[in-house]
Amino acid sequence: MVRFTIAVSALLLASRAAALDPIITKGSKCLYKNETQFFIKGIAYQKDPYRLGGESGDGTYSDPLSDGDSCKRDIPILAKAGTNVIPDPQCIVDLFDRYKAVIDDLANYDNTIGFFAGYEAAIRDSEKYIKDLRKDQRWLGVGYAANDNSQIRVAAVDYFNCGPQESTLDFWGYNLYSCRIFFNYSVPVFLAEYGCNDTTALYSDDMSKVFSGGIAYMYYQEENDYGLVRHPRVRVAKATPSSTSADNYNPTNSPPSCPELSSSWEVNRKVLPFTTDRDLCECIHKPASCSPSSRLNSSDYGEIFGFICVESSSACAGINTNTTTGVYRAYSMCNDTQKLAASSNAWAATATAASTASSGAGAGGDGGEFKSFSRVLHAAFPAFFEQVAAFTNMG
């Protein structure tokens, strides 16, 4: 099963951004606007956010791009190494809102060349957002970066390049040291991470026919001993791949057919998730009679979902997804709190109807539906009923 990654953005380093020649793509090549070929010569600049607590939410991770003193210290070193690209990881909560915020923050800088999105629908929506936001302005690409997985390698490569081109990637960053699989690819490809010792090979005549450069891993010296400060920078600085010009390049590669479903590839390309709609999700959440309290731990959501969806599959119909059949229900785009509100209200309505039918009580009655809902939850989750009691706004 394919696993999607978080979104990142890519920045082109220069001392004077206003003087930069915009980057465009033509077929599988990156080009300057003056139509000479552009090769990515990048270095992974951020420290590992997982090791430093950035993904754990404890607030200890600091993005060096937001630290002016660090940038002033490091940019001359990166420039001396011949670097022109660095990846900028972003940890996101409400996914597409975060994508849009990153685009809003960085799109107006001349030294931004594009963004990585973590999955197909995000590529589609980000590309459309950029086009709507920046009509008649310079090109900004949206691509995808991933580690290699031999089980889904070919399917993943084809999946992100096939089908309607308005929802396919503009470039691909991959950690696969092989030209063969990308020889006929119709968009630019670069190595998202490579070791410094591979620089000479990457920018050789053979590999530069397929790869548009890459991003060396990494700038900082950490426990993994990959830091650029410990390894020769001269390989990156002296890389001079053979290039082509737009006049001499007539792309003939075309997008591949979409991959067939299999035991190792369970994503249907014919149907993508909806574009996220915050208003829709807030609409279902705000008027909900049953909604998760702030006192309820989100780690308990899974067990509550499990109980509700087993008791009443129809209560969870609005949040269901199935990538194999291409089913994405209306509220599947919402966050877990909003999904839980939608499901619990649907289940409570079912429980109310059943309780009313068995007791003969009239609609509304004495609030028996609320009591019934609370009793069932109490019976289902005795170990943490004190928290679960706070699950509803029923009093």
Structure tokens at 62: 């600091």
Neighbours of 297 (CB within 10 A): 10
DSSP, res 312:
-
φ, ψ dihedrals at 191, nearest 5°: -80, 120
Query: Quick one: CA torsion of 281, 287, 288, 289, rounded to 10 degrees?
Result: 170
Query: Which residues have C-beta within 8 Å of that of residue 56, sequence separation ≥ 6?
Result: 50
Phi first, then psi: give them for residue 237, nearest 5 degrees.
-65, -35
How many Å apart are CA 337 and CA 344, to the nearest integer?
10
Say if CB 212 and CB 187 are below 8 A apart: no
Q: Which of 6, 271, 25 is nearest to 117 (CA)?
A: 6
The residues annotated as belonging to the active site are 120, 193
First to last CA, the chain: 43
Collapsing DSSP to helix, strand or coil, 194 comes out as strand
Place of tokens 């890459």: 214
Place of tokens 């597409």: 96
Whether the Cβ atoms of residue 41 and residue 61 lie closer than 8 Å to each other: no
The rounded distance, in Å, linking the Cα atoms of 271 and 326 is: 5
